[in-house]
Structure 1
Amino acid sequence: MTRKVTRTGSMSRRRLLTTVGAGAVLAASPFRISSVQAQEATIKIGFPVPLTGPYGAEAQDQVRAGQLAIAQFNDAGGLNGRKAELIVRDDKLNPGEAATRSLELVEKERVNFVAGSLSAAVQLAINNVTKERGIIFNSISQSDAINEASDFSKYTFHEALNPHMTSGAVGRYAFAKFGKKVAFLTADYAYGHEMVRGFLEVGKQFNIENLGDIRHPLGTTDFSTVLPRLQALKPDILCISNFGRDQQIALKQATDFGVKKSTQIIVPVLSHASRVAAGAQAFEGVIGGSSFYWGIEDKFASTKAFNDAFRKMYDGKVPTDYGALAYGGVRAVLEAVKGAGTVDTDKVIAALEALKYDYYKGPQYFRKCDHQSVQSVLIVKSKSKDMKNDADVFEVLSTEEPNEKNLRTCDDLGHKS
């Protein structure tokens, strides 16, 4: 039986790892639960994320921040005294595994809601399970497809940025400053494909020249054969659309090959966890997009409050970008539960659709037609000097404020007006 977090500062690092390792499993009761017991039972949020695999560091941050949202909800009295719990599963960055774990969360653990994921393809597998069973899923990973009518349902919400928003913001910044000749190194799966599509779409506004797109499989460890080919194209900009360890390795080898001497490297998502793992040299001068950076705490009171609570709970650590998405994704569901005064699915959906929130970085809201969170996009540059501390890794160059004009239209997504 998993112990619940009842105080904001009560989740130690050891307890977190124990919770994650055990999958935060609650024993399933063999007996039918009465309606009274159901109203008093723990509010369960299933949380499938890739704890093992190339995105493991980011997934650990997601769990930490999700647990913080749970702890704050419980400390504030829950839903009329009814507490919440995060039930974690390792989806192993695999759509089939994610579907199996999600089905287990819904049918065995009887979760009320699901949040999580860290892959475009994986979140679609989770979404297929939850929408078929009428369970709200708030995704905290980038995807364009999840908002499209073919994958969307009324139960689908998307706290994360999507590739169109992210690559659009980075492209608008970079193509205006660094040149028109662009080459692409792309992870050959949905995340990479959608990011490149976004870059090419915004590139039309700047008349960029697409010099070529070299694609690589997920989990590539050697880019030594493709980097010379990309250099030979003599691009002004090299756009590397991958993530996690793939991104770390690609940037380290690009640095070793001297790519940065003549080319500006941009990435759609510049991950805090990857930057810390790979170091300043590999990421030096790289520009990318981010949903969150802890360093904007001097701009937003919500950022400062989130940072301080996270520091208190986790021995002075600061939250990362994907951690912030997890915090927002879990907290939004819990705040909607409070607003609805119930865990009834339709009432919580209505509360989420009406939600205007600022939990960690400024104002956000869910667009009605596709439940995409409308929010800011930060353009950040990796630091290699003048760092105030080990976590001071990015400089915020620009911010695109929340604007539905930067999203694909509802009609484009297939939603009827």
Structure 2
Amino acid sequence: MNSSDFRSRRRQVLGAGLAAATTPLWFNIARAQNNAPIRIGLPTPLTGAFSAEAQDQARAAELAIKEFNESGGFNGRMAELLVRDDKLNPGEAATRTLELIEKDKVNFIVGSLSAATQLSINGVCKDRKVLFNSISQSDAINEAKDWSPYTFHEALNPHMTSGAVARYAFPKFGKRVVYLTADYAYGHEMVRGFQRAGQALGVQTLADIRHPIGASDYSAFLPRIQSLKPDILVLCNFGRDLVNSVKQATDFGIKSSTKIITPVLLYTSRLAGGADAFDGVLGGTSYYWGMEDQVPSAKAFNDKFRKAYNGSVPSDYGALGYAGVRSVLQAVRNAKSVESLKVAEAMAALKYDWYKGEQFYRKCDHQSVQSVIIVESKSKNMKDKNDVFNVLAIEKPDEASLRTCEELGHKV
């Protein structure tokens, strides 16, 4: 290189360096933000009584992230899932959510597996104007005092679930009812839903017997239940509580004269409790993989899950993890933005069928209006280890099955 070429090359390098040095800071920041991943936080109880359901939520949520990224993301931006253990504790859930928003800079929150933790998560998101899509049952989160424009509820709520089970079971099995209830919001809301649906059917509540969440021994309650001679025993509890109470009620001989039903009959609980203990137990669910014979989107979802996870099938709460994340990411694309308010507006307009048939969000409270599946556990004629339920009925999506917007405190 001669001296003239050297001087020319030096001027080019210096010019480029000067241009870089004088590029406005805001431009570099904007470029970095445009390339940053879209982060979704998932606080859920990875440890504790509901850990099996929470781990399935996380697995299915990862599937929604993978699909979004493989289809190009949003303007080239990929999505990322940040899972945190809320330990089934409202204070822990609030702390983890705050960290996800302030430290990890997530764009949105999806998650929860408890009525109590989801309200604390929602409170943090509400204060910071971050979109939250709850994937756990709660009636309170739809009420105006806890709700915000950033609040969405992907899951069924207790009023919908217990109402559907009551309308199916009470006319068939009798009107004298005892409730064995986990003593927290989930249990209380489920009992309220059953009793409201039962009023029109002439159902009599013989007793509502409360037990602490996480109880392992139900022997003190069973003699009283049996002495009341109910037609139906309603187990308004969840996860390990449901498994333990079903096993002990079966061993005590309750089934000989009483039909056992539960508002939420979990696939994971049935696997944990076994065919004999759960035989004949009836309940509701947001999803059962066996719907694939009737619902095309269920078959498509199951096939994707099987491929991703060595042939296993998704659980009910796993499916909610998938839908909760997928709804948010679809709304990002529709809004052409990651700003929570714009995404919330797009999400409120969604009409979708991710895995169980048609769904949409009710305008006043962002509750996902959807089907409720009535299933009964079986111990015979099972095709394989996953074939645990008979699908008895599917109650179609209907806003009439929800509490009214006015009752919830919303102005319409």
Partner of 1:322: 317
- One of 105, 124, 134 as aligned partner of 2:100: 105
Partner of 2:266: 271
Deviations 1:224-271 (A, max 9, x none): 110111110000000010000010000000000000000000000000
| Matches for 1:135-174 after TM superposition, within 5 Å | 135-174=130-169
- For 1:197 and 1:128, the matched residues in 2 are separated by 24
Partner of 1:407: 402
State yes or no: 1:244 paired with 2:214.
Answer: no
- Structure with the higher helix share, 1 or 2: 2
Partner of 1:131: 126
- For 1:192 and 1:219, the matched residues in 2 are separated by 13
- For 1:39 and 1:127, the matched residues in 2 are separated by 27
Partner of 1:191: 186
Deviations 1:323-375 (A, max 9, x none): 00110000000010111111122221111011000000000000010000000
- For 1:64 and 1:346, the matched residues in 2 are separated by 27
- For 1:326 and 1:48, the matched residues in 2 are separated by 11
Equivalent position SS for 2:355: coil
Deviations 1:143-191 (A, max 9, x none): 0000000000000000000000000000001111001000010000000
Partner of 1:24: none
Partner of 2:11: none
State yes or no: 1:351 paired with 2:346.
Answer: yes
Contact 2:46 2:85 in 1 (8 A): yes
Partner of 1:13: none
Task: Give the letter for the 1:385 counterpart.
Answer: K
Deviations 1:388-413 (A, max 9, x none): 11111110101110000000000000
Q: What TM-score results when the alignment is normalised by the length of structure 2?
A: 0.93
Partner of 1:301: 296
- For 1:291 and 1:182, the matched residues in 2 are separated by 24
- For 1:116 and 1:173, the matched residues in 2 are separated by 30
Equivalent position SS for 1:143: coil
Partner of 1:79: 74
State yes or no: 1:213 paired with 2:208.
Answer: yes
Partner of 1:386: 381
Higher Rg: 2
Contact 2:131 2:341 in 1 (8 A): no
Q: What TM-score results when the alignment is normalised by the length of structure 1?
A: 0.92
- For 2:31 and 2:273, the matched residues in 1 are separated by 52
Task: Give the letter for the 2:370 counterpart.
Answer: Q
Equivalent position SS for 1:343: coil
Partner of 1:47: 42
State yes or no: 1:57 paired with 2:52.
Answer: yes
Task: Give the letter for the 1:362 counterpart.
Answer: G
| Matches for 1:253-268 after TM superposition, within 5 Å | 253-268=248-263
Q: Post-superposition shift, 1:80?
A: 1.8
Gaps of 5+ in 2: 1-24
- One of 63, 81, 88 as aligned partner of 2:83: 88
- One of 110, 114, 122 as aligned partner of 1:115: 110
- For 1:36 and 1:267, the matched residues in 2 are separated by 52
Task: Give the letter for the 1:279 counterpart.
Answer: G
State yes or no: 1:416 paired with 2:411.
Answer: yes
Q: Post-superposition shift, 1:35?
A: 2.0
Equivalent position SS for 1:34: helix
Q: Post-superposition shift, 1:81?
A: 1.4
Equivalent position SS for 2:187: helix
- For 2:284 and 2:296, the matched residues in 1 are separated by 22
Pairs aligned (count)? 387
- For 2:112 and 2:145, the matched residues in 1 are separated by 19
Report runs of 4+ in structure 1 exceeding 2 Å deviation.
Answer: none
- For 2:186 and 2:255, the matched residues in 1 are separated by 24
Q: Percent identity?
A: 65
- For 1:76 and 1:257, the matched residues in 2 are separated by 53
- For 2:104 and 2:34, the matched residues in 1 are separated by 16
Equivalent position SS for 2:172: coil
Deviations 1:110-155 (A, max 9, x none): 0000000000000000000001001000000000000000000000
Partner of 2:333: 338
Task: Give the letter for the 1:367 counterpart.
Answer: R
- For 1:315 and 1:157, the matched residues in 2 are separated by 32
State yes or no: 1:229 paired with 2:262.
Answer: no
Partner of 2:371: 376
- For 1:299 and 1:104, the matched residues in 2 are separated by 42
Partner of 1:178: 173
Equivalent position SS for 1:45: strand
- One of 231, 256, 279 as aligned partner of 1:284: 279
